[in-house]
Structure 1
Amino acid sequence: MRCLKKIFLIVLFFTFTLKAQAVRLKDIMDVEGVRGNYLVGYGLVVGLKGTGDGDQTKFTVQSVVNMLEKFGIRVQKEQVKLKNVAAVLVTAYLPPYAKPGQKIDVEVSALGDAKNLQGGTLLMTPLTGPDGRVYALAQGPVSIGGFAAGGAGAQTQVNHPTAGKIPNGAIVEREVPMEDINSQSSILISLKTDDFSTTSEVAEAINSYLRGKFATPADLKNIELKVPEKYRGRVVALLGEIGKLEVRPDLPARVVIDEKTGTVIMGENVRISKVAVAHGNLSVTIKEAPEVVQPLPFGRGETAIVPRTEVTAREEKAKIVVLEESATLGELIRALNAVGATSRELIAILQAIKSAGALHADLIII
């Protein structure tokens, strides 16, 4: 067990004491106006093998009746028995500058009480945007990337059988109106990191490449870029060139904790003030050994179960480690390794250090 603790802390140490590496500007920036849109639609998946919605799913029954009426077939709701049809919600992402005729992927999710969408086919489904207009039409066989099967006594399942995808399952029917980027005289670049130092460094890198003061930091994540004369009408080429520039983001001091999995992620700029850490374990063991007591032969009484509970408590001697002022992440990891802290205990220690005001970093719990 102690070996596993050391492995965890050593891996954490070597992972996050590496210096920040240079990254391409295109990987950490967005351009104002260049954005996609989410689409959504309601449809029916048919051809299921008895795993569709039940008769109690009224909106699926109504949808089937409405669909049949479009084909000139009139039926009563009471005559429709559903087993091979499922109502689904269809979602898709329409990328920027998508043109009519292009194909995009769609995701299909069961909306009623269907048990499995395996082998089903999505009927033609209009996909609408936030403005209510239809931008794509989806149709095709659903792939769930797994399976679900079982019998009366056992069942097996791989992946999630009530949600799937249709690769290239939708055809774009309408283009989203967007301003011609090549006609712009200035553009706004938004960084994916909120940091003044990184914003200033990116602006300097752009100005150095363009050999002039064209980029101006507007705030902690936005940069105003005036298009140079030689790039007028060729803004796409300009963005392609500056996107290849390499910069070194100055990451903020941050500790991210996932209490559900016991994962702790630390940035390299995490610092602590001088603090003493005492770590000890208290374990309580409860054993239940019920005893059966029977009356004497021919005696009056009944057989009874008498509880027998044994409780023991053991507390390990606390280990105290003093962390000096301005301790680095590596020193913090080595100190916590010395007291034998597991990932769960590391979370509690970091929270306590933050409460003491000695951890100089944002502590984020997810």
Structure 2
Amino acid sequence: MKLRIKHLVLWAYALVCLQAEKIEDIANIVGVRDNQLVGYGLVIGLNGTGDKSGSKFTMQSIANMLESVNIKVSPSDIASKNVAAVMITANLPSFARQGDKIDVQISSIGDAKSLNHGVLVMTPLSAIDGNIYAIAQGSVSLGNSSNQLTGTIVNGATIEREISYDLYNKNGMTLSLKKPNFKNAVKIQEALNRVFQQKVALAIDPKTIKLKKPEKLTMVEFLAMIEEVNVDYSHKDKIIIDEKSGTVVAGVDIVVHPVVVTSGDVTIKITQEPLEPKKGKAKKDLQKLGSQATLDTRENILSAPKATIASVVKALQKIGVSSKGIVSILEAMKKSGAISAEMEVI
């Protein structure tokens, strides 16, 4: 009883840490994962929107299916347009048991026009090892999608074979960080050793942390507690740019170093020097962008002790730069070294 209370107190301590991430959100348990399944089958009952007779593999599949029920017919004699050849994909969850249901995705591989109102004939689904793990069958649903050649069958497959994994009798496991980082690997190691008050974790590289189960806990209890532990996770600054739409996604505190940028008819200067309003006809038109950034809209000068991506984007919008123009300017700033954060263009 004392041991349980002790662990509950330590667990509660880990949960109240501020500005932290749960381990289950930043790391995976090696070996506990989904597996992909795939199969080839036929969707029947289509209202003249199936594959044409020119799709020889579809006609051969129909002939093979009919032969399995003792009806022999030549593929060349089949002219049906009510059947479509499809590929079926699904994910086999970790620890799935016989009889469990999973969703499947259906995709046409012939020249069918639509799979709407079709029914998938019983199809085996196999994994990369060639073994059959599930059987799929059911009515295809297209939902509200405009694509008539892909659909889903909710709970459309039944698990027939299990992937054995003896978790209960294991004494050690491995955590794998979703994003490798030396600092975060060490933080997880220190947090777990502190919570359990013994050496249960060891970071062996920036992605991998080896775990050793305490004697008084089962592996299931141990992993359940580990997933709930909070860690002061270090996020890496990153800017995501969608060139097609002109969308920019970035952290609000990503710093832009002083620089002068010219793009077309627009020139903007980013500086740390404070702007002072001038008197008379040539007085500056100063506008506040946030709590510290100031924009001179006449001379296109952005002043801030620490200019950020957010203030730069606001300034460019204020002086009339288009979304795609802003993207081009940010990319040029990155190449010049004015932006240190990682940038990804999609």
TM-score of the aligned structures, taking structure 1 as reference length: 0.76
Q: 2:225 corresponds to which residue?
A: 241
1:279 and 1:320 in contact (8 A); partners too? no
Partners of 1:72 and 1:273 lie apart in 2 by: 77
1:44 and 1:86 in contact (8 A); partners too? yes
The one-letter code of the counterpart of 2:201 is A
Q: 2:276 corresponds to which residue?
A: none
Report how far residue 354 of structure 1 moved. 1.2
Q: How does 1:355-366 map to 2 (within 5 A)?
A: 355-366=335-346
Q: 2:285 corresponds to which residue?
A: none
Match of 2:43, SS state, is strand
Is 1:346 the counterpart of 2:326? The answer is yes
Q: How does 1:1-366 map to 2 (within 5 A)?
A: 21-146=19-144, 158-178=145-165, 180-231=166-217, 234-268=218-252, 270-281=254-265, 320-322=300-302, 326-366=306-346
Q: 1:24 to 1:89 in 2, by over 3 A?
A: same
Partners of 2:215 and 2:78 lie apart in 1 by: 68
Partners of 2:99 and 2:336 lie apart in 1 by: 60
Report how far residue 120 of structure 1 moved. 0.7
Partners of 1:335 and 1:198 lie apart in 2 by: 35
1:192 and 1:221 in contact (8 A); partners too? yes
The one-letter code of the counterpart of 1:195 is N
Hey, which of these two has a bigger chunk of strand by percent?
A: 1
Partners of 2:341 and 2:63 lie apart in 1 by: 60
Report how far residue 205 of structure 1 moved. 2.1
2:313 and 2:326 in contact (8 A); partners too? no
Q: 1:159 to 1:117 in 2, by over 3 A?
A: same
Partners of 1:271 and 1:222 lie apart in 2 by: 31
2:238 and 2:343 in contact (8 A); partners too? yes
Partners of 1:338 and 1:170 lie apart in 2 by: 55
Partners of 1:336 and 1:206 lie apart in 2 by: 46
Larger CA deviation: 255-264 vs 57-66: 255-264
Q: 1:240-299 deviations in whole A, cap 9, x for unaligned?
A: 1121122342111211111122211113452232212345549xxxxxxxxxxxxxxxxx
The one-letter code of the counterpart of 1:254 is K
The one-letter code of the counterpart of 1:64 is I
Report how far residue 159 of structure 1 moved. 2.2
The one-letter code of the counterpart of 1:332 is V
Q: 1:194 to 1:267 in 2, by over 3 A?
A: farther
Match of 1:48, SS state, is coil
Q: 1:198-238 deviations in whole A, cap 9, x for unaligned?
A: 2222222222211223222222222112211222xx11111
Q: 1:335 to 1:202 in 2, by over 3 A?
A: farther
TM-score of the aligned structures, taking structure 2 as reference length: 0.80
> For the aligned residues, what is the CA RMSD?
2.2
The one-letter code of the counterpart of 1:225 is L
The one-letter code of the counterpart of 2:178 is K
Match of 2:228, SS state, is coil
Report how far residue 49 of structure 1 moved. 0.6
1:275 and 1:358 in contact (8 A); partners too? yes
The number of aligned residues is: 299
Q: 1:62 to 1:353 in 2, by over 3 A?
A: same
Match of 2:320, SS state, is coil
Q: 1:248 to 1:345 in 2, by over 3 A?
A: farther
Partners of 2:51 and 2:80 lie apart in 1 by: 6
2:302 and 2:312 in contact (8 A); partners too? no
Q: 1:326 to 1:100 in 2, by over 3 A?
A: same
Larger CA deviation: 221-230 vs 46-55: 221-230
Match of 1:93, SS state, is strand
The one-letter code of the counterpart of 1:220 is P
- Tell me the percent identity: 42
Q: 1:359 to 1:212 in 2, by over 3 A?
A: same
Match of 1:78, SS state, is helix
1:51 and 1:84 in contact (8 A); partners too? yes
